[in-house]
Amino acid sequence: MALPVKLFAGGMIGDGKQWISWIHIKDCVRLLYYLLTETAMKGPVNITAPHPRRNKEFTKTLANVLDRPNVINTPAIFLKVALGEMHQLITEGQYVLPQKATDRKFTFNYSHLEDALEDIYG
């Protein structure tokens, strides 16, 4: 998502209401290590930050961090034509929480999008 924003062509997708579950790479690696070493964890675990954001908010935050405009939106129909049924992954999104990790008291260093993007791009 950063490349179009960096090239002054970023904006929300569709109506921007779809949820985006995201995670900072450092937290992803830490959580994977935790899962490999924590023998009490069983079954699937969602590897995502605890605060999903809507596409509209995500792209606005990314554009602010990159100091770029957030004006060129992508209509959902373009993605439907280009990607077929796979467009649903982007245009509908998913609201996913790392419930097992937070229940086990795993702490995220970058639980908020602004902090994560500032660390990566700031």
Give 85's contacts (C-beta < 8 A, 6+ positions apart): none
Tally of domains in the chain:
1
Q: Mind listing the pLDDT tens digit for each residue in 59-109?
A: 999 999 999 998 888 888 888 888 888 888 888 888 999 999 999 999 999
- CATH code, domain carrying 69: 3.40.50.720
Sort 109 into a burial class: Cβ within 10 Å, 0-12 / 13-18 / 19+: exposed
The H-or-E segment that residue 53 falls in is strand 53-54
- Higher-scoring residue by pLDDT: 114, 10: 114
pLDDT of 42 > 90? The answer is no
Q: What would the mean pLDDT of 13-37 be, rounded to a whole number?
A: 95
For 55, the domain range is: 2-121
Give the rounded distance of the alpha carbon of 29 from its chain centre.
Answer: 15
pLDDT of 27 > 90? The answer is yes
CA distance 45 to 48: 9
Helix 25-37 with 113-121: angle, nearest 10 deg: 110
Q: How confident is the model at residue 41 (pLDDT cuts 50, 70, 90)?
A: confident
Q: Which amino acid is at 4?
A: P
Average pLDDT, the chain: 92
- pLDDT at residue 40 in the model: 82
Q: Which of 21, 20, 2 is nearest to 11 (CA)?
A: 2
- pLDDT at residue 25 in the model: 97
